[in-house]
C-alpha cells in the first residue's frame, strides 16, 4: 500500500451497552487458534461483498498519532474490480488497474506509479480486508458481542502471526443482523491508532472508466512526477 495510507483501515466507534464478552485465546500462534464462530461471520460477510461488482463507500476517519492532536477526515472510495478512486481532504488516489495517481494537495504534486497488485495498491478495500483471514497471516477470534436494541454487533480481533508486522492487532466490528462491516480499528506498534467509520455503502452502480484516471487539466500549478517504468 502507498506509504501515506499504509496503516489506514475502516473503523467505527459504537456507543452501546455490552451484553456479554466472549473470551478468546490470549496467545495466537497458528491457524489452529482461529475461532470457528468468527470464521462463520467472516465467511458470510465475504460472500456478500464478493457479490458486489462495484462499491462506493462514504466514510469518516479518525487518526491518533503519538504526541499529536487527533485528526478526523471524511472521504469517499469507489471500487470497480481492481480500479478505484479515493478522495479525502488532503489527497486523492486514482487507479485504472495499470497506473496509480497519488495527488498530494498540500504539496501540489501528483506521483504516478505502476499498479502493483502484490502490494495491495494504495488502499485496503473491504474486499481486500476480507481476504486477510484466509491467508493465514492473522489469527482471529470473537472478543466481544454487544446488543443495541435489536441489533447485535460482533468484534473480531485479528493478531498477526509474524512478529515483524507493523500492527499489534486489528479489530473488526460487524453488524450481524444486516451482515455489514461496520468498522476496523488498527493498532500500530508505534502507538498510532486508526479508526474509520463507514457511513454508507452503495453497491453495483456503473462508473465511467475515466473516473479512475487522474485528470491534470482539472487542477492548475501541479507538479507531476512520473515514476512508471515504461
- In sequence order, which ranges of 153-198 are alpha helices (DSSP H)? none
* pLDDT tens sequence across 124-159: 555 666 666 666 777 889 999 999 999 999 999 988
- In sequence order, which ranges of 98-174 are alpha helices (DSSP H)? 126-129, 132-135
Instruction: Give the count of domains, the chain.
Output: 1
C-alpha cell of 151? 441489533
Q: What is the pLDDT along the chain (230 residues), one digit of tens a residue?
A: 343 333 333 332 222 222 222 223 334 455 566 888 988 998 888 888 888 899 898 988 888 888 889 888 898 889 898 898 989 888 898 999 899 999 999 899 999 999 876 654 444 555 666 666 666 777 889 999 999 999 999 999 988 888 887 778 888 899 999 988 888 888 888 888 888 788 888 999 999 999 999 998 888 889 999 888 87
91 touches 42 (CB < 8 A): no
Can you name the residues that pair with 175 across neighbouring β-strands?
Answer: 153, 180
17 touches 147 (CB < 8 A): yes
pLDDT of residue 125: 57
Mean pLDDT, the chain, whole residue set: 78
CA distance 168 to 203: 32
Q: Looking at residue 220, which CATH number applies to its domain? A: 2.50.20.10
Q: Which residue segment(s) compose the domain that 183 sits in?
A: 3-225
For the chain, give the longest Cα–Cα distance: 57
Domain membership flag for residue 230:
no
- Burial 18-57, CB ≥16 within 10 A → b, else e: eeeeeebeeebeeeebbbeebbebbeebbeebeebebbbb
Kindly report the length of the chain.
Answer: 230
Domain membership flag for residue 143:
yes
pTM for this predicted structure: 0.73
C-alpha cell of 103? 495527488
Domain membership flag for residue 72:
yes
CA distance 46 to 185: 18
Amino acid at each position: 500500500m502507498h506509504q501515506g495510507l499504509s496503516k489506514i483501515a475502516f473503523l467505527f466507534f459504537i456507543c452501546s451497552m455490552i451484553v456479554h464478552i466472549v473470551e478468546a485465546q490470549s496467545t495466537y500462534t497458528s491457524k489452529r487458534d482461529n475461532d470457528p464462530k468468527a470464521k462463520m461471520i467472516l465467511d458470510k460477510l465475504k460472500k456478500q461483498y464478493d457479490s458486489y461488482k462495484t462499491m462506493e463507500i462514504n466514510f469518516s476517519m479518525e487518526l491518533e498519532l503519538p504526541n499529536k492532536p487527533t485528526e478526523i477526515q471524511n472521504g469517499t472510495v469507489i471500487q470497480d474490480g481492481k480500479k478505484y478512486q479515493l478522495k479525502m481532504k488532503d489527497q486523492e488516489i486514482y487507479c485504472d488497474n495499470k497506473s496509480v495517481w497519488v495527488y498530494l494537495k498540500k504539496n501540489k504534486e501528483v506521483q504516478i506509479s505502476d499498479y502493483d497488485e502484490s502490494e495491495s495498491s494504495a488502499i485496503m478495500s473491504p474486499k481486500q480486508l476480507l481476504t486477510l483471514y484466509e491467508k493465514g497471516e492473522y489469527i482471529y477470534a470473537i472478543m466481544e458481542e454487544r446488543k443495541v436494541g435489536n441489533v447485535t454487533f460482533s468484534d473480531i480481533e485479528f493478531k498477526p502471526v509474524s512478529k515483524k508486522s507493523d500492527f499489534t492487532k486489528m479489530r473488526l466490528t460487524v453488524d450481524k443482523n444486516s451482515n455489514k462491516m461496520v468498522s476496523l480499528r488498527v493498532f500500530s506498534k508505534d502507538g498510532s491508532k486508526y479508526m474509520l467509520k463507514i457511513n454508507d455503502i452503495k453497491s453495483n452502480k456503473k462508473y465511467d472508466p475515466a473516473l479512475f484516471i487522474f485528470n491534470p487539466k482539472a487542477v492548475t500549478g501541479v507538479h507531476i512526477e512520473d515514476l512508471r517504468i515504461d
